[in-house]
């Protein structure tokens, strides 16, 4: 809708809203002018006990449920109910190759070729699988570079891999830290670490978006620097997939893993995703923790003893996948396709996040410090807010009672995400009003 259309709409606002603060009218006008606004209706928005819709700002943790998920999952349940094992082979969507329906939509979201992507497994397990093939420590080159605030599961996975090779995290884990008094990583410091330690680093394993601060790392640059020093480079894209446009193939990283239940809206514990760059597609020298679903499709059911990997990411599959979860993820990915993919979503996301940040700076400059970088290129949907009060937990509970869903990290950080598929400018406004009323 053009500006004039939006203004005309303004005059039609019902009299009930006349007394509300001007900021709310401004937010609503932006929602009316938003070409993606209709996608909110594709989702179930949780409701409070009084029946009003919540302000849901937790898409960084669990994305909301696309309405069509129910249909897609029920369809597969009905097939199981009526056909039993024949569901594996019969049209319209036989389960045997069902995961292939998700490959192209996933690949387009992360900027990969289809054969570089497999929708499979779960995030931590996939990280282990990737390290099984790509973390090959030698006496000289044995370190794994992670960051100080790495998500605990990633750190546990990396430390256990190091021990698995008979090494010690004390000497083989290299941790990149923000400077004293700072919370985000500086790209020049990361570059310096890779430059300085490069010869000893076997694997660089960093996030696309840092889960605690919302900081976006430069995947192209990290890959370039790591490769220049002979390191393998992998990424955890848990908070990047469905949040930012990605170009994994062009960035050239060796592998990446993500989950589907955060910005991808695939449902609790949904099947994850895996990227392996095509330069590794046909390598036979890599060790691999194999399973039958990674075996050549044409001979898989001959049930022979000798493993022959499918070229590409699918060759790392182990088990036949959970169809009910794949059905949910398939429905969720379809919504991204209909919205036009990551480019328009990212445009809206920048505006939403910028709007929220400006409201916070204007309305609560004394009470809130935004920890996430201000430059739009260095952040995605999430803002991490330091709440400056002695009673942060109490404040979090008060805004939760007021119908705001976000999350709280001790001692003083609130993480909120405005997700362009289902959040509105009005949500940003309501959140800030609730905060103001809760200090």
Instruction: Give the interface with ligand PLP as residue ranges (CB under 6 A).
Output: 122-124, 151, 153-154, 207, 211, 236, 238-239, 259
> In which element (H, E) is residue 206 found?
strand 201-207
DSSP state, residue 312:
S
Q: Which pairs from 222-228 meet CB under 8 Å and 24+ separation?
A: 222/190, 222/194, 222/253, 223/251, 223/252, 223/253, 224/252, 225/190, 225/191, 225/194, 225/195, 225/198, 226/194, 226/198, 226/201, 227/252, 228/198
What is the secondary structure of 242-292 as a DSSP string?
A: TTS---HHHHT-SEEEE-SSSTT---TT---EEEE-GGGTT-SSS-----G
Say which residues have a Cβ less than 8 Å from residue 6's Cβ, sequence separation at least 6: 29, 30, 32, 33
Report in angstroms how near the CB of residue 218 gets to ligand PLP at its nearest: 17
Q: Which CB atom, from 219 or from 359, has the smaller least distance to ligand PLP?
A: 219
Q: Which CB atom, from 29 or from 205, has the smaller least distance to ligand PLP?
A: 205
Q: Which CB atom, from 128 or from 295, has the smaller least distance to ligand PLP?
A: 128
Report in angstroms how near the CB of residue 186 gets to ligand PLP at its nearest: 20
Quick check: 234 and 255 in contact, CB under 8 A? yes
| Structural tokens at position 395 | 């404040």
Report in angstroms how near the CB of residue 344 gets to ligand PLP at its nearest: 25
Q: Which CB atom, from 87 or from 214, has the smaller least distance to ligand PLP?
A: 214
Q: Which CB atom, from 208 or from 420, has the smaller least distance to ligand PLP?
A: 208
Report in angstroms how near the CB of residue 122 gets to ligand PLP at its nearest: 5
Q: Which CB atom, from 243 or from 405, has the smaller least distance to ligand PLP?
A: 243
- The strand pair at 382-387 and 273-276 is best described as unpaired
> In which element (H, E) is residue 150 found?
none
CA distance 34 to 345: 11
Report in angstroms how near the CB of residue 271 gets to ligand PLP at its nearest: 10
What are φ and ψ of residue 66, in 5° steps?
-65, 135
Report in angstroms how near the CB of residue 161 gets to ligand PLP at its nearest: 14
> In which element (H, E) is residue 398 found?
helix 392-401
Report in angstroms how near the CB of residue 73 gets to ligand PLP at its nearest: 20
Report in angstroms how near the CB of residue 135 gets to ligand PLP at its nearest: 17
Q: Which CB atom, from 129 or from 395, has the smaller least distance to ligand PLP?
A: 129
What are φ and ψ of residue 401, in 5° steps?
-65, -25
Q: Which CB atom, from 130 or from 360, has the smaller least distance to ligand PLP?
A: 130
Rounded to 5°, angle at Cα 184 from 186 and 208:
85
Q: Which CB atom, from 116 or from 236, has the smaller least distance to ligand PLP?
A: 236
What is the secondary structure of 313-360 as a DSSP string?
A: GGGG--S---HHHHHHHHHHHHHHHHTTSHHHHHHHHHHHHHHHHHHH
Report in angstroms how near the CB of residue 61 gets to ligand PLP at its nearest: 8
Report in angstroms how near the CB of residue 212 gets to ligand PLP at its nearest: 9
Q: Which CB atom, from 123 or from 399, has the smaller least distance to ligand PLP?
A: 123
Determine the 3-state secondary structure of 209 from DSSP. Answer: strand
Q: Which CB atom, from 291 or from 354, has the smaller least distance to ligand PLP?
A: 291
> In which element (H, E) is residue 229 found?
none
Start-to-end Cα distance in the chain? 37
Report in angstroms how near the CB of residue 235 gets to ligand PLP at its nearest: 10
């Amino acid at each position: 809708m053009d500006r004039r259309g939006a203004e005309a709409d303004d005059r039609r606002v019902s009299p009930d809203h006349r007394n509300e603060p001007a900021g709310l009218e401004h937010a609503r006008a932006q929602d009316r002018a938003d070409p993606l606004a209709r996608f909110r209706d594709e989702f179930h928005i949780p409701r409070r006990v009084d029946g009003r819709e919540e302000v849901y700002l937790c898409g960084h943790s669990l994305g909301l449920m696309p309405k069509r998920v129910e249909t897609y999952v029920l369809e597969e349940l009905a097939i199981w109910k009526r056909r039993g094992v024949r569901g594996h082979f019969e049209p319209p969507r036989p389960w045997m190759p069902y995961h292939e329906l998700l490959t192209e939509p996933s690949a387009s979201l992360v900027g990969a070729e289809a054969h570089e992507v497999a929708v499979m497994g779960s995030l931590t397990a996939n990280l282990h699988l990737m390290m099984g093939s790509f973390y090959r420590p030698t006496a000289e080159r044995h370190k794994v570079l992670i960051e100080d605030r790495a998500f605990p599961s990633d750190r546990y996975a990396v430390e256990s891999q190091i021990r698995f090779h008979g090494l010690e995290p004390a000497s083989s884990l290299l941790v990149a830290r923000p400077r004293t008094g700072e919370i985000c990583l500086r790209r020049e410091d990361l570059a310096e670490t890779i430059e300085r330690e490069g010869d000893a680093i076997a694997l660089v394993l960093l996030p696309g978006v840092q889960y605690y601060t919302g900081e976006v790392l430069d995947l192209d640059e990290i890959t370039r620097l790591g490769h220049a020093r002979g390191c393998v480079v992998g990424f955890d894209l848990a908070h990047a997939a469905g949040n930012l446009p990605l170009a994994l193939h062009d960035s050239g990283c060796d592998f990446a893993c993500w989950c589907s239940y955060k910005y991808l809206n695939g449902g609790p514990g949904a099947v994850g995703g895996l990227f392996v760059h095509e330069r590794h597609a046909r390598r036979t020298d890599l060790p691999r923790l194999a399973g039958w679903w990674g075996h050549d499709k044409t001979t898989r059911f001959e049930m022979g003893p000798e493993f022959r990997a499918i070229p590409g990411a699918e060759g790392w599959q182990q088990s036949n996948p959970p169809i009910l979860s794949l059905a949910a993820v398939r429905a969720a990915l379809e919504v991204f396709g209909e919205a036009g993919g990551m480019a328009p979503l990212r445009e809206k996301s920048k505006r939403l996040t910028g709007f929220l940040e400006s409201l916070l700076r204007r309305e609560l400059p004394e009470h809130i410090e935004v920890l996430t970088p201000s430059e739009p290129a260095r952040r995605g949907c999430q803002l991490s807010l330091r709440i400056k009060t002695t009673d942060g937990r109490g404040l979090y509970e008060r805004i939760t009672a007021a119908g705001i869903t976000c999350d709280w990290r001790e001692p003083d950080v609130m993480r909120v995400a405005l997700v362009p598929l289902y959040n509105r400018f009005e949500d940003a406004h309501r959140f800030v009003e609730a905060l103001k009323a809760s200090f």
